[in-house]
Structure 1
Amino acid sequence: MADGNIHMTVAELNELINNRVAEAIAQYAQTHNTGPHGPAGGLVNPHVCTFKMFLDCKPHNFKGSEGAIGLLRWIEKAESVFEMCNCPDESKVKFATGTLEGPALTWWNSNVQTLGLGEANALTWNGFKTLLQEEYCPRSEMQKLEEEYWHLKMEGSNIEEYTTRSHELSRLLPHMATPASKWIERYIGGLVPQIQGLVTSANPTTIQQAVRLAHQLTDQAVLQGTLPKRTSATKVGDHKRKWEGNNSKSHNQQSYQQNRKQDSNKSYHNSNSGQQSSSSGGYIGKHPKCNRCGFHHDGNQCDRARCQRCGKIGHAAKDCRGELQNNHNN
Structure 2
Amino acid sequence: MADGDDDTVPRVTEQMRIVIAEEVGKAIENSLSNFIDKIQNTVLSVVEERIKKLEDNSNLAKEKSGGRKPCSYKEFMACKPPIYNGEVDPIVCQRWIGDIEGVFERTHCDENDYVAYGTGQLRGQAKDWWDNKKKEIGSEAAKAMTWEEFKTPFLKHHSPKAVINKIKEEFMQLRHKGESIGKITGMFMDKMKFCDDLITNEEQKVYYYHNMLSAEYREFITPSKYETLTEIVNAAREREIELKKSIERGERRAQDVNPSPTKKARTNETAKKSDTKGGTPSCKICGKNHKGECRFKDKPCPICRKTGHMAISCPEKMTVCYNCYRTGHKRSECRELVGKKEGQHSKGEASKAKARSFQLTATEAKV
Using structure 2 for the length normalisation, give the TM-score. Answer: 0.45
Using structure 1 for the length normalisation, give the TM-score. Answer: 0.50
- Bigger share in helix: 2
